[in-house]
Amino acid sequence: MYLFGHVGLSLLLYKAYSLASGENSMRNKLLIATGAMLPDFLDKPIGALFFQTGRWFGHALLFQITFLAILLLVERGYKPYPQMKSDVFILYLGSLIHLLGDLPGLGREVAFWPFYGPFPVGNTEDFLLGLQSPFTVVTEVLGLLVVAILAYLENWDRRANLFAVTIFVLYSCAFLITYSILVGF
């Protein structure tokens, strides 16, 4: 799954929670979507460029534990900020949802690193080749649809729409440029 798939899945799950709880906050949507992008923000640049794998430390359970520990330490340090606790929890939930989305095809060497040996390595451009998989393409389209439908149904304000469109444009450009350099058309 790529970025839009992860964002869409996290927002869809948050929507289900919103319908059950009655809580629907743009701040929480932003937090859960950011959390859902984090493992790839870490692994695509660092893992792919330096370790020849797009699924590196950010996709390991050890990262999730380390990330939670860091978040809890930060939350402790800034106790006076009352919303911090739930912010930290929602951000973390987003990064867990990322792993859920990547579960099909996530090898045990990555998920349980370092217990089953080192991260499998390939080529620098391997992480881009997911684009050739129907699963990735379908989940990307569905993810985009989820964002568009939520924006319409929930009547997102101008700032939120602008933010979503900016992310879409920046990510698409970055992806296409990287793809054309590393893989070529």
Interface residue list for Zn ion (CB under 5 A): 40, 102
Closest to Zn ion by CB, 40 vs 87, is 40
What is the smallest separation between the CB atom of 39 and Zn ion, expressed in angstroms?
5
Closest to Zn ion by CB, 126 vs 154, is 126
Q: Is 157 helix (H, G, I), strand (E, B) or coil?
A: coil
What is the smallest separation between the CB atom of 127 and Zn ion, expressed in angstroms?
9
What is the smallest separation between the CB atom of 116 and Zn ion, expressed in angstroms?
18
- What region, left, alpha or beta, does residue 148 occupy, with left being phi > 0 and alpha being psi -120 to 50 degrees? alpha
Closest to Zn ion by CB, 40 vs 140, is 40
State the CB neighbour count (10 A cutoff) for residue 173.
10
Closest to Zn ion by CB, 102 vs 140, is 102
Give just the sign of the alpha carbon dihedral 48, 51, 52, 57.
negative
What is the smallest separation between the CB atom of 122 and Zn ion, expressed in angstroms?
15
d(CA 52, CA 172): 22
d(CA 73, CA 81): 14
Residue nearest to Zn ion (CB): 102
